[in-house]
Amino acid sequence: MSARHRWAAAIALAAVLAWPLQASSFWLGLSLTVTTYAIAAVGLDLVYGYGGMLSLGHAAFFGIGAYTVAIGSRETELPGVVLLAGACLLAAVGALVVGLVALRTTGYYFSLLTLAAALIVASVIKGVDWTGGPSGVGGVDRNLLGTGELTVASMYVIAVAAVLGGIGFVRSLRRSRQGRALAALRVNPALAAAVGVDVLRLKLGTFVLGCAFTGLGGGLFAQSLAYVSPEFVGLTQSIQFLVMVVIGGMATGWGALAGAVVVRGIPEAVQSLRDWQLLALGLLTLVVLVRFRLGVVGTVEAWVRRRAASVSAGPTAARPGPAVPTTPAVGSDEVAGDGSGAAAADAGAAPADGPWERPAAGSAPLLDVSGLERRFGGVTALSGVDLQVTPGQIHALIGPNGAGKTTFINLVTGVDRPTAGRIRWRDRDITREPPHRRARLGMARTFQLVALCPELTVAENLALGAYHRTRTGVLRGGTRLLARGEERAVHERVLGVLDRLGLAHLADRRPDEIPVGQRRLVEVGRALMADAELLLLDEPAAGLNETETNELARLLRDIRAEGRSILLVEHDMRLVMDISDVVTVLDFGVPLRTGTPDEVARDEQVVAAYLGVEA
């Protein structure tokens, strides 16, 4: 953040905190209500904006928090701060129960299950006596610290601190290891799993944390209004939270506050709008979705980025060639950061999981696939495939389109399950292992169709590859200071890989701003960041010109020289025959021949099926 931006933020914060000194009781009460709603919306932004999980029943967790504080205030003498902690805890427990069921489904089933949860909570609240039934619970006190009732102004300051803390948390998370993982998860769950993300665990943790924060908003709302009723738990309330996030701008943090002002503040401030609130919200949502798809804050941030880019843009630099490293640029991993500058700069530091033992070339197979078969209904994509990759070897898998090459990579990496056959990693059977566990064993892959996160920069896409070699969780990721050492180590490693690929000048660009050939190199860089023993590259030369292909060939030879193995799927036969140690040819899912490049090139069956007469 520049000095000018810091001054602007300080002035804005001073104005917000000075508001109670000059506002009337009406405006102060309205500000408190809007702020508590914004806290709940920040929780939904974490779940939906960052996690990509469309929750249609988020009001259930808001209601759990509100009723926990209201009933606790009525039945006990506990300080309000303890009740707020209980509100967060019970909302988190409720989210854990819902999440364990809902997150095992996909698409709109998750949304419908969260909606069902909200309807169940609302029905229970209305139907039992101890919640006050349809009449709700009144007389909620504001004795937060056990020292007596707090004023509305004091409650407002506490609520502002809570919402600013939540916004700061999610914005820091956005630039952390888990933030990058969530970005990948939203775009392509297969990509997230391929870099080592335990998709279910990350989704569940994000969902529980977001709902706990929403429960905090509900608890503060009960204390600010001194009353709760079932109307705050129903479908209408859930829709309002969703509209707040969409109008304000998803995955921005500040968008939750802006949306709360628009959805709750303006209709209350202008009393004539209250009867037309749903119509106004519908029209406003339509305008935002059609004209400002990033929401209010998202649109402003995008404009600021474009403006900054246009101001800082200079003459386009010539594209440098890839640097030949004097030491392996990605031969070791970053340690779990402890804030130490020495740890960040140590290129030879041991990886977080401990160093892998790299066997000498020619030893026992690293990957051993036998009798692999995959059928889709009546169609057999692969049948009877045997393939071995030894350490320090480039093994090419070639064949015409539809031969089953990408299917083979999907089976090896766990994206798909084989119908028959066995996959072994050294002496371990991994046929039924999930993708993220295979990635953690030492596999990294690229995709036939380039799979990059469009909202991440080139450097951040590379950093994603180091996911399973680092340790920062969601809570530490949202607190930037605690994750600073690890992030510095990752950044150092990213710069080395970018320099090695000749892409250092594109570090801050987004994938849609660079040619497709360079995007493929970014994918290769992401695989290098994993420090994997086996790289599975699916057509990495597609879209590259001759010079770039030669640079790629040199890079792959260097990787082999470091003791790594490569399983290469490629249509560029000049590249395949130039760098491969072993070539396996597939034809309609059936292996035709495995041998050296010269042996394969002279095989009559291979020539007839794939290479052609001129080969």
Q: How confident is the model at residue 604 (pLDDT cuts 50, 70, 90)?
A: confident
pLDDT tens for 523-551 read 999 999 999 999 999 999 998 899 999 99
Predicted confidence (pLDDT) at residue 473 exceeds the cutoff of 50? yes
How far is C-alpha 500 from the geometric centre of its chain's CA atoms? 26
Token pair 């602007």: residue: 8
Q: How confident is the model at residue 161 (pLDDT cuts 50, 70, 90)?
A: very high
Contact yes or no for 17/157 (Cβ under 8 A): yes
Q: For residue 604, with 0-12 CB atoms within 10 Å meaning exposed, 13-18 middle and 19 or more buried, which class applies?
A: exposed
Average pLDDT on 234-262 reads 91
Nearest Cα to Cα of residue 590 among 383, 395, 379: 383
Separation of alpha carbons 461 and 454, rounded Å: 9
pLDDT number for residue 356: 39
Q: What are phi and psi of 608, to 5 degrees?
A: -70, -35
- Which region holds residue 139: left if phi is over 0, alpha if psi is between -120 and 50, else beta? left
Contact yes or no for 542/559 (Cβ under 8 A): no
Q: How confident is the model at residue 19 (pLDDT cuts 50, 70, 90)?
A: confident
In what helix (H) or strand (E) does residue 579 lie, and over which residues does it extend? Answer: helix 573-579
Provide the Cα torsion 231, 235, 237, 239; round to 10°.
-160
Predicted confidence (pLDDT) at residue 13 exceeds the cutoff of 80? no
Separation of alpha carbons 368 and 361, rounded Å: 15
pLDDT tens for 397-418 read 999 888 999 999 999 999 999 9
Residue 451, both tokens: 């799979």
Write down the mean pLDDT value for the chain.
86
- Which region holds residue 107: left if phi is over 0, alpha if psi is between -120 and 50, else beta? left
Separation of alpha carbons 73 and 32, rounded Å: 19
pLDDT number for residue 321: 40
Buried b / exposed e over 44-64, threshold 16 CB at 10 Å, is bbbbbbbbbbbbbbbbbbbbb
Separation of alpha carbons 613 and 167, rounded Å: 64
Separation of alpha carbons 549 and 216, rounded Å: 55
Higher pLDDT, 252 or 318: 252
Separation of alpha carbons 101 and 104, rounded Å: 6
